[in-house]
């Protein structure tokens, strides 16, 4: 019931490009997940009913669901009123993107396999904003049932999803000559299959919102990589999974355009300040120093300099750089199926 009906009602209540937040008032143990869309007769009845809901209404009743609260967010920013879901949000790019979206006025669901990490991050965001702007949800992108449960939780909490940032990803570098198949398969499962599963869980929610509000557009943005645009030496599993992600992005864009969903990818350069590179025990800098991957490097600073010197702009990518691209893609109504490099000139499109 909820996964289909609440997003549809949210769309029916749209004012211009703004959709309200809808919160199911109590626990609904009997409200079973429903994969089938609301039928046309109910849709027409709801269209009339919700067109007549007073502009200052703060709640309505729905059969089988009980009370649903209606809330119009009052904060201001580039993402005001948007409900965003960010996967892989317990640390790194995902956490910083979620933090930036909340600062820009969005309600943000932080989804990750790291349950403790997302809960802590969501608590910090909520106390920092003095308002409920964040929700921590547990989801493993390699297990579709956990994604469905997370989406259901978000829909009960805010009524729908306007922006998906498909960010969860892992790296397991290795030579094709001897990399264990398990490593190759895990990278493919998280980065490639996991992206497919995440879109499969979220796109039907956005499609229902669009059915209710045909003029509103919604966004799926994959955090891809420069390694989705050019090969990566001794890192074929990762690069292959990211190239595949761009194939999915282009194909989803073609299919989902009729549901008002734009699908784009951002391809960042190396996030040298993030934990993947800079973690003092397990980060790539210390790993590459120990393994001698960078000839002549004697310190972590030498390894870092080696990677910075590959970038025409002389530095690594930051979340701020990624946010410029993310807001551009959200703001631009006439762009879908693109893979946008954010690499300081390291990768240039032909």
Ligand X SMILES: NC(=O)c1ccc[n+]([C@@H]2O[C@H](COP(=O)([O-])OP(=O)(O)OC[C@H]3O[C@@H](n4cnc5c(N)ncnc54)[C@H](O)[C@@H]3O)[C@@H](O)[C@H]2O)c1
Task: Report the residue from 7, 11, 268, 283 that binds ligand X according to the rule CB under 6 A.
Answer: 268
Residue 332 is a binding residue for ligand X (CB under 6 A): no
Any contact of residue 249 with ligand X (CB under 6 A)? no
**Residue 343 has what DSSP assignment?**
S
CB of residue 126 to ligand X, shortest distance in Å: 19
Q: Which of 238, 307, 328, 334 is catalytic?
A: 238
Strand bridging mode 163-166 / 218-223: parallel
- Nearest Cα neighbor of 139 from 188, 198, 205, 222 is 198
CB 201 within 8 A of CB 219: no
* Residue 144 interacts with ligand X (CB under 6 A): yes or no: no
As a whole number of angstroms, the distance between CA 207 and CA 214 comes to 9
Candidates 1-9, 37-45, 64-72, 108-116; binding stretch for ligand X (CB under 6 A): 108-116
Q: Are 313 and 344 in contact (CB under 8 A)?
A: yes
- Judged by CB under 6 A, the residue of 275, 278, 302, 315 near ligand X is 275
Pick 1 or 300: Cβ nearer ligand X = 300
Q: Which residue in this structure is represented by tokens 């960042």?
A: 268
User: Phi/psi zone of residue 236: left (φ > 0), alpha (ψ -120 to 50 degrees), beta?
Assistant: alpha
Longest dimension (CA), the chain: 72
Among 80, 91, 188, 278, the residue binding ligand X under the rule CB under 6 A is 91
**Cα 288 from Cα 291, distance rounded (Å):** 5
Does the protein bind ligand X through residue 113 (CB under 6 A)? yes
- Shorter beta-carbon distance to ligand X: residue 36 or 182: 182
Question: What CA–CA distance (Å, rounded) separates 157 from 145?
Answer: 18
Q: Which of residues 181-240 bind ligand X (CB under 6 A)?
A: 190, 194, 223, 225
Burial of 3 (0-12, 13-18, 19+ CB in 10 A): buried
238 is annotated as an active-site residue? yes
Please identify, among the stretches 71-79, 154-162, 163-171, 173-181, the one whose residues bind ligand X according to the rule CB under 6 A.
163-171
Q: Which is nearer to ligand X, 113 or 161 (CB)?
A: 113
- 271 touches ligand X (CB under 6 A): yes
Q: How far is the CB of 283 from ligand X (least distance, A)?
A: 9
Assigned token pair, 110:
């932080």
> Which residue's CB is nearer to ligand X, number 87 or number 264?
87
Binding site for ligand X (CB under 6 A): 87-88, 90-94, 112-114, 139-142, 167-170, 190, 194, 223, 225, 268, 270-271, 274-277
Catalytic residue ranges: 238
């Amino acid at each position: 019931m909820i996964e289909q009906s609440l997003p549809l009602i949210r769309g029916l209540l749209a004012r211009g490009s703004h959709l309200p937040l809808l919160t199911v008032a109590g626990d609904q143990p009997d409200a079973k997940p429903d994969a089938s869309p609301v039928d046309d007769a109910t849709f027409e009845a709801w269209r009339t009913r919700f067109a007549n809901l007073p502009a200052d209404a703060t709640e309505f009743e729905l059969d089988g669901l009980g009370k649903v609260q209606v809330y119009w967010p009052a904060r201001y920013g580039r993402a005001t009123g948007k409900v965003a879901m960010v996967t892989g949000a317990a640390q790194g790019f995902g956490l910083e993107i979620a933090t930036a979206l909340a600062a820009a006025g969005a309600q943000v669901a932080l989804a990750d396999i790291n349950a403790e990490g997302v809960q802590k991050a969501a608590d910090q965001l909520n106390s920092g904003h003095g308002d409920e702007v964040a929700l921590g949800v547990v989801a493993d992108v390699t297990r579709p049932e956990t994604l469905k449960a997370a989406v259901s939780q978000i829909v009960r909490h805010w009524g729908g999803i306007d922006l998906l940032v498909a960010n969860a990803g892992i790296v397991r570098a290795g030579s094709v000559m001897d990399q264990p198949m398990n490593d190759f398969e895990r990278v493919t499962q998280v980065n490639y299959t996991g992206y497919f599963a995440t879109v499969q869980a979220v796109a039907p929610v956005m499609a229902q919102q669009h059915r209710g509000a045909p003029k509103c557009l919604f966004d799926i943005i994959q955090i891809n990589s420069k390694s989705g645009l050019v090969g990566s030496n001794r890192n074929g599993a990762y690069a292959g999974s990211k190239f595949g992600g761009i194939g999915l992005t282009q194909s989803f864009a073609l299919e989902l355009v009729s549901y008002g969903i734009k699908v784009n990818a951002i391809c960042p350069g190396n996030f040298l300040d993030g934990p993947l590179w800079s973690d003092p025990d397990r980060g790539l800098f210390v790993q590459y120093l120990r393994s001698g991957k960078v000839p002549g490097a004697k310190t972590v600073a030498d390894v870092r300099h080696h990677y910075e010197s590959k970038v025409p702009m002389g530095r690594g990518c930051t979340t701020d750089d990624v946010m410029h691209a993310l807001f551009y893609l959200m703001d631009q109504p006439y762009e879908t199926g693109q893979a946008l490099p954010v690499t300081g000139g390291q990768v240039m499109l032909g």
